[in-house]
């Protein structure tokens, strides 16, 4: 009987193929839990993976929303942040302070191919919508994307401050290099958050120099 009901009901048949496509994407997306980042989690016990990083960032957006610049839609920022690292499933994560991380052309090309493949698993309308959100995030020109990008730069130093300097020590990052690379990127989309973070970074390195 189930077979008969399906044949007689094109909506149900349509639903099945549509959910098949969305679920193929979601199961593939689950691989993001296997992509390791450079930053350590808050207790310093291990490196963070890109899936839990994406959750933490989305929670940053929700919690720090009142400090976003005027006109930012927090719900759109959250959607962007849920999607922003999926390309790393194919292209891997490039640590922000790793040697060569400022030369991004090859990485950008790999991420574009990854976006084609991953979003291409979805029904076409949703593939387009997700790809547009990811492109907007990458371009970092709209207020939503700028705030999302700034949060992506703001979270790791806070993990490092919580766990005693984890990935900074590992990559030999000093205060000047940190300020030079982080400051403009965080202030561009979230100036209030950089104003808050900047003295904490000063305190951290002053204490380290005193030790």
**Ranges within 84-103 binding a copy of itself (CB under 8 A):** none
Q: For residues 36 and 101, which CB has a smaller minimum distance to a copy of itself in the complex?
A: 36
Contact positions with Ca ion (CB under 5 A) in 29-88: 85
Secondary structure of residue 38 in the 3-state scheme: strand
122 binds a copy of itself (CB under 8 A): yes
Q: Tell me how far CA of residue 192 lies from CA of 76, 147, 177, in angstroms.
A: 20, 11, 21
Nearer to a copy of itself, 32 or 182 (CB): 32
Give the residue at shortest CB distance from Ca ion: 85
Residue 10 class from Cβ within 10 Å (0-12 exposed, 13-18 middle, 19+ buried)? exposed
DSSP state string for 164-210: TSHHHHHHT--HHHHHHHHHHHHHHH-HHHHHHHHHHHHHHHHHHHH
With CB under 8 A as the contact rule, the residue among 1, 4, 10, 66 that binds a copy of itself is 66
Task: Pick out residues in 26-65 that bind a copy of itself (CB under 8 A).
Answer: 26-27, 29-34, 41-43, 45, 48-49, 51-52, 54-56, 58-60, 62-64
Report whether 123 contacts 22 (CB < 8 A).
yes
Q: Does 192 bind a copy of itself (CB under 8 A)?
A: yes
Q: Which residues contact 203 (CB under 8 A, 6 or more apart)?
A: none
Q: Report the residue from 7, 13, 19, 113 that binds a copy of itself according to the rule CB under 8 A.
A: 19
Containing H/E element for 18?
helix 10-29
The reply to whether 131 sits near a copy of itself by the rule CB under 8 A is no
Question: Exposed, middle or buried by CB within 10 Å (0-12, 13-18, 19+), for 200?
Answer: exposed
Element (H, E) at 110: helix 105-119
Does 134 contact a copy of itself by CB under 8 A?
Answer: no
171 binds a copy of itself (CB under 8 A): no
Q: Is 182 a residue that touches a copy of itself (CB under 8 A)?
A: no
Give the angle subtended at the CA of 96 by the CAs of 66 and 140, to the nearest 5°. Answer: 50
Q: Could you list the residues that contact a copy of itself (CB under 8 A)?
A: 2, 12, 15-16, 18-20, 22-23, 25-27, 29-34, 41-43, 45, 48-49, 51-52, 54-56, 58-60, 62-64, 66-67, 75, 78-79, 82-83, 122, 126, 158-159, 162, 192-193, 195-196, 199
Interacting residue ranges for Ca ion, rule: CB under 5 A:
85
């Amino acid at each position: 009987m189930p077979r008969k009901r399906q044949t007689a009901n094109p909506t149900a048949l349509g639903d099945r193929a549509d959910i098949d496509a969305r679920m193929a994407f979601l199961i593939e997306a689950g691989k993001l839990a296997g992509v390791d980042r450079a930053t350590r989690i808050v207790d310093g016990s291990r490196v963070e993976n890109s899936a839990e990083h994406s959750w933490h960032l989305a929670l940053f957006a929700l919690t720090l929303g009142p400090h976003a610049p005027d006109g930012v839609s927090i719900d759109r920022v959250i959607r962007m942040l849920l999607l922003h690292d999926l390309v790393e499933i194919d292209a891997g994560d490039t640590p922000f302070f790793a040697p060569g991380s400022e030369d991004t052309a090859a990485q950008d090309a790999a991420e574009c191919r990854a976006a084609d493949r991953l979003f291409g698993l979805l029904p076409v309308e949703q593939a387009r919508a997700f790809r547009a959100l990811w492109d907007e995030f990458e371009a970092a020109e709209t207020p939503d994307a700028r705030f999302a990008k700034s949060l992506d730069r703001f979270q790791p130093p806070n993990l490092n401050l919580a766990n005693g300097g984890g990935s900074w020590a590992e990559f030999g990052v000093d205060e000047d290099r940190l300020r030079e690379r982080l400051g403009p990127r965080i202030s561009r989309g979230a100036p209030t958050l950089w104003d808050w973070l900047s003295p904490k970074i000063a305190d951290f390195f002053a204490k380290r120099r005193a030790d």
